[in-house]
Structure 1
Amino acid sequence: MFSVQVSRVEQSVVFALRGELDFDSMVQLHEAGESELLKGRGAGPVVVDCSGLLLCDSSGVSALLWLHRRLSAQGRALRLAAMPTQVSRLFALTGLDEVLSVYPHVAGALGRNGRVVAAGGSDGPAQTNEGLSA
């Protein structure tokens, strides 16, 4: 079973994904994304906490790219965080880790301690900061 839990952290929004993001479940991510997009410009980034993601197939990747494009059109960032190894491998093999901003931890994606911690993508410098946790 798939779920998206939405929470606010200061000016940012965190989407915590749990389960398998695939063709059958991507509608839930679209609904959460549409709801956030209605809030419009001026809001902070959307951080997708992938720590509970068991699988992400091509439909899931499409849903994430759709959200990235829509947020970018509003001048907002999409930041993926805490990807499990199997999902991270998919993003590395397809080059999506160079298109989307991928962070090792949710705290880094939120820019805690005044630092943005990115592993790739175009949103923030590529740095690591061990010891940050969600």
Structure 2
Amino acid sequence: MFAVEIRQPGQAWLVSLRGELDFSSAVQLREAVERVVAGLLQPGLMVIDCAGLGFCDSSGISSLIAIHQWLSARGSTLRLAAVPPAVARIFRLTGLDQLVGVYPTASEALAVDGGGSAASSPADTSASTHAAVQG
């Protein structure tokens, strides 16, 4: 089962993925992120936490590139975080890691300059927006 959780800790958006990002789940990811991107009123940061991602195929790579392009067109930034070794290898082979910044943890990706409030932790959900998509 694939799941997408989107929340807003501070100024940035944090998208947590769980399961396999493949042909069928890539559509779910795009739709969930598209709703957020459509509502952006000013440039910002989106971090995709890949810690729970077990697999990513070419459809998943295409979705991540599309998300990067949507955000870039709006002056926003995409970062990837906590990418498991098997998935990181795919990102390296496809060059995705050269297109999008990859960070060891979501906290680090959020804290780097331009990442919104460095004081906000991905675990801080007291004033966050939640959306979950499962399939």
Same fold per superposition (TM over 0.5): yes
**Offset at 1:41?**
3.9
TM-score by length of 1: 0.81
**Offset at 1:94?**
2.0
Q: Which has the higher contact order (CA 8 A, sep 6+)?
A: 2
Root-mean-square deviation over aligned CA pairs: 2.1
Unaligned runs of at least 5 residues, structure 1: 117-122, 125-132
Runs of 4+ in 1 over 4 A off after TM superposition: none
CA contact (8 A) 1:19 1:55 kept: yes
Residue 13 in 1 paired to residue 35 in 2? no
SS in 1 for 2:53: strand
Count of aligned pairs between the two proteins: 118
Letter of the 2:33 partner, please give it: G
Q: Percent same amino acid at aligned positions? A: 49
TM-score by length of 2: 0.81
Give the match for residue 102 of structure 2. Answer: 102
- 1:44-102 CA-to-partner distances (Å, cap 9, x unmatched) read 21100000000000000000000000000000001000000000011112222111111
Give the match for residue 33 of structure 2. Answer: 33
For residues 99 and 6 of structure 2, the distance between their equivalents in structure 1, rounded to whole angstroms, comes to 24
Letter of the 1:99 partner, please give it: L
- 1:109-130 CA-to-partner distances (Å, cap 9, x unmatched) read 101xxx45xxxxxx99xxxxxx
